[in-house]
Amino acid sequence: MMAKGFKQPLILLLIVVSSTLLHSERLQSPEANTLLRIRSLLNFPSVLSSWNKKTDFCNLEPSPTVTVVCYENSITQLHIVGHEGAPKLPSNFSIDSLVTTLSKLPSLKVLTLSSLGLWGSVPKQIEGLSWIEVLNISSNYLNGDLPKEVSSLTNLQGLIFDHNKFSGQIPDLFGSFPALNVLSLRNNCFNGSLPSSFSKLSGIRVLALANNHFSGDVPDLRRLKDLQELDLESNSFGPKFPQLGNKLVKLLLRRNKFRSSIPNDISTYYQLQKLDISSNKFMGPFPMTLLSLPVISYLNIAGNQFTGMLSRNMSCSDALSFVDLSSNLLTGDLPDCIILKSKYRDVHFEGNCLNVADGSQHAYAFCRNGALAAGVAPSRTEDRARKAVLASCIVSGVVGVTLLIVLVFWVLRRVIKKKKLKEKPSPRVIAEKASAGCSSKLITDARYISQTVKLGALGIPAYRTFSLEELEAATNYFNSTAFMGEGSHGQMYRGQLRDGSLVAIRCLKLKQSYTTECFMPHIELISQLRHRHLVSAIGHCFECYLEDSTVSRLFLVFEYISNGTLRNWISVGRARRRFTWSERIGASTGIVKGIQFLHAGPGIFSNNVRITDVLIDQNLAAKVSSYNLPLLAQNTDMVGHGALVGSQETRMDHEDKADIYDFGVILLEMIMGKPIKSRSELNITRNQVQATLAGDEEARRSIVAAEIQNTGSDQSLKTMMEICIRCLKDSSERPSIEDVLWNLQFAAQVQDAWQGGEHVNSNRGSPVSPPHLPRFRLTYY
């Protein structure tokens, strides 16, 4: 009781004292009323629940959510920060009224209205806030254009409109903000390119435009001497690296469409602490000096196409705490300075071609190839290192007709030899077109061949030349996702042309210097190799060296065969079913017809066809994708195939028999329905088949693929087994291609008759819609 009696007068006294002391600091009532009005316009947010008519605004304890700062009885700063994710204010909210009300605070210089659910587009009345210096209205729902009237806020030092719904292009009004040093428009829907007046923001320190839809090249920012932070993340800026001053501290270009190389002067960015240029298409050499910039602590170049060889002795900045080099085309050894301190550093380097044995790296060829595709054509020889590469192609004069790839020297030699035997005069007219350094024999031979080749209308697009741009567009600049595989004859990419058709593109880097004319005979031949059972070339493209116009790369564009390899349909793979016996006979016949065409037309032998080189199209027709192309063999310094070793005479006699043997191996796999991957497997299986040939039907049926056991007639099976065994004999005993074909056709007839009887198979011959694209490796040589 006594204590209570004491306390009350004490409290009273304190109130009297304080109100006396602070009287002179009290806000004038119009401004206090304005604040209360603002509270009501904001629909009484909970952070302002303590405000009332008696609140002494200038003496509120500042808090992270609400702060009022007064100077000489006027409000100079007002900060109201609502709850994160605050919902939109109700429909009776009026942004116009709010702005008009704010303009009644004549000394207000710094205003934050954040996370309060404001919505609507910024009204013209904004010009009434002309004395404002910092305006932060982030995390609301404001929309529409950035109003031109903003340009009347000439005292602006900071404009922060992050996390709203602003859209449209930025008006060209930044000539009028001499004092602006922070411009932050992150997370809106602005689009279009930046107006050139950005180059005039001479006082800017922070320019943050991340997460919008901006596009195009960044205006020249070299005059912005104070620029320290540039955040352009997640837009569509590009393709050129921005032009910048070298005082940058943070440079964030992640997820844009930059596609250039990095300028050398980046090594002069001595204040750079954070660099994130990941997930673009930057290419060219990775500037190693980035690792050793004096104060760099965060470096992320992941997901680009940087090339270059790292070495263990490279040096790194001591400040470096995060390094991500992953998914580029880097080779060499990881620098010691990165690994040794990796306990303290966040280091990522997977998806390159570095010498790191942890399974995280691609094969060296992937990077070399990617570098090529990115247009960084390494020069042919060291002394030509500085040679520019002209990335344009196109040779006129090829009137395209049909199919596949080129011939090797030995075919040429063979043809020449035949000619010598026949003492034919060489066609002079054509020979005269040969340019210096280019054998005229190539040209005469090609003419000889093209007269021989018969053409067929196969529903394949006419042969034509492609531009490099077209191929780049088709493969997304030879993106690694389009990479299908690599063989001794270059890399294979999958592409989609503008008309939607799929193609397979072989990229061939040339070792010798030839002019495009030298290739024309080959190209003409390729263009005519069209057959229902061959994968056809539909065009080509040359990339030439600028200096002497010799060819640096040759691209051959093939039809894309979408139904996987024959093996998928026979033994292992993802085809949804296995071929029936009739379909196997049909595929065998297709392969033999394809080979026969190569032999009889251009005289292309020893094609080294494997079951994985036979592709299946949408109509389930077999197409041979691998042939012995002279140009390719020559380019890879392959003198010839193993089958050809021996005297010329032997070669002449048996040159067509190597393909027969290879066909026998394929046929054996089709009969047995299991992959044959080694010579011993082959011998065992062949002996097994041979043994059952002498036995009864039961024995034969017991060893063949399950799919054949009940869908094949015994006589057709026996015929196929016999021809298979003959194909696998020594070369002198092998049947001719015509003999093989005759036997296959006989087997097909027998099988048809048998099926026409009691064993009707409803499945037979029906076209199959393509399943999802299988992953397989085309060889196409």
Binding site for ligand NAG (CB under 6 A): 40, 43, 81, 90, 92, 112, 114, 136, 138, 160, 167-168, 182, 184, 191-192, 311, 313
Taking the least distance from each CB to ligand NAG, the nearer of 184 and 716 is: 184
Q: How far is the CB of 192 from ligand NAG (least distance, A)?
A: 4
506, 372 contact by CB (below 8 A): no
Q: How far is the CB of 49 from ligand NAG (least distance, A)?
A: 14
Distance (Å) of CA 776 to CA 568, 615, 616, 678: 9, 9, 11, 20
Cis (ω within 30 of 0) for the bond into 239? yes
Residue 519: enclosing H or E segment and its boundaries? helix 516-528
Q: How far is the CB of 278 from ligand NAG (least distance, A)?
A: 24
Q: How far is the CB of 167 from ligand NAG (least distance, A)?
A: 4
240, 283 contact by CB (below 8 A): no
Taking the least distance from each CB to ligand NAG, the nearer of 115 and 304 is: 115
Taking the least distance from each CB to ligand NAG, the nearer of 58 and 170 is: 170
Taking the least distance from each CB to ligand NAG, the nearer of 226 and 547 is: 226
534, 594 contact by CB (below 8 A): yes
Tokens linked to 412: 């040429």
CB atoms within 10 A of CB 388: 10
DSSP 117: -
Taking the least distance from each CB to ligand NAG, the nearer of 192 and 456 is: 192
Q: How far apart are CA 747 and CA 713, in angstroms?
A: 9
Rounded to 10 deg, the angle between the 581-600 and 737-756 helix axes is 160
Start-end of H helices in 345-467? 364-373, 409-422, 428-431, 440-452
Taking the least distance from each CB to ligand NAG, the nearer of 79 and 494 is: 79
419, 447 contact by CB (below 8 A): no
Q: How far is the CB of 353 from ligand NAG (least distance, A)?
A: 16
748, 585 contact by CB (below 8 A): yes
Q: How far apart are CA 141 and CA 614, in angstroms?
A: 59
Tokens linked to 33: 């009323």
Tokens linked to 734: 């092998």
Taking the least distance from each CB to ligand NAG, the nearer of 168 and 771 is: 168
What are the two backbone dihedrals, phi and then psi, of residue 59, each rounded to the nearest 5 degrees? -120, 20
Tokens linked to 220: 């020249």
**Residue 687, exposed/middle/buried by CB under 10 A (0-12, 13-18, 19+)?**
exposed
Taking the least distance from each CB to ligand NAG, the nearer of 172 and 697 is: 172
Q: How far is the CB of 486 from ligand NAG (least distance, A)?
A: 27
Beta bridge partners of 82: none
Distance (Å) of CA 757 to CA 707, 713, 717: 19, 11, 17
Taking the least distance from each CB to ligand NAG, the nearer of 168 and 770 is: 168
Q: How far is the CB of 184 from ligand NAG (least distance, A)?
A: 5
Q: How far is the CB of 232 from ligand NAG (least distance, A)?
A: 17
Q: How far is the CB of 188 from ligand NAG (least distance, A)?
A: 11
729, 749, 617, 600: which is closest to 663 by C-alpha?
Answer: 729
Taking the least distance from each CB to ligand NAG, the nearer of 335 and 586 is: 335
Q: How far apart are CA 421 and CA 40, in angstroms?
A: 106
Tokens linked to 91: 């429909």
Side-chain-side CA neighbours of 288 within 13 Å: the count stands at: 17
Q: Looking at this protein, which amino acid is placed at residue 344?
A: Y
Q: How far is the CB of 113 from ligand NAG (least distance, A)?
A: 9
Tokens linked to 641: 């195939």
Q: How far is the CB of 327 from ligand NAG (least distance, A)?
A: 24
User: How far apart are the two ends of the chain, measured CA to CA in Å?
Assistant: 107
Q: How far apart are CA 114 and CA 111, in angstroms?
A: 9
CB atoms within 10 A of CB 699: 12
| DSSP E strand stretches across 182-257 | 182-184, 189-192, 206-208, 213-216, 229-231, 236-237, 250-252
Taking the least distance from each CB to ligand NAG, the nearer of 195 and 427 is: 195
Q: How far is the CB of 356 from ligand NAG (least distance, A)?
A: 16
Taking the least distance from each CB to ligand NAG, the nearer of 123 and 630 is: 123
681 Cβ contact list (under 8 Å, min separation 6): none
Q: How far is the CB of 361 from ligand NAG (least distance, A)?
A: 18
Taking the least distance from each CB to ligand NAG, the nearer of 138 and 187 is: 138
Say whether 687 sits in a helix, a strand or coil.
helix
Taking the least distance from each CB to ligand NAG, the nearer of 167 and 761 is: 167
Q: How far is the CB of 96 from ligand NAG (least distance, A)?
A: 13
Q: How far apart are CA 186 and CA 163, in angstroms?
A: 6
Q: How far is the CB of 599 from ligand NAG (least distance, A)?
A: 52
Taking the least distance from each CB to ligand NAG, the nearer of 90 and 642 is: 90
Q: Looking at this protein, which amino acid is placed at residue 582?
A: S
Q: Looking at this protein, which amino acid is placed at residue 349?
A: F
Taking the least distance from each CB to ligand NAG, the nearer of 64 and 359 is: 64
Taking the least distance from each CB to ligand NAG, the nearer of 43 and 687 is: 43
Say whether 528 sits in a helix, a strand or coil.
helix
Q: How far is the CB of 69 from ligand NAG (least distance, A)?
A: 14
Q: How far is the CB of 285 from ligand NAG (least distance, A)?
A: 15
Q: How far is the CB of 369 from ligand NAG (least distance, A)?
A: 23
Taking the least distance from each CB to ligand NAG, the nearer of 167 and 636 is: 167
329, 370 contact by CB (below 8 A): yes
582, 519 contact by CB (below 8 A): no
Q: How far apart are CA 47 and CA 66, in angstroms?
A: 7
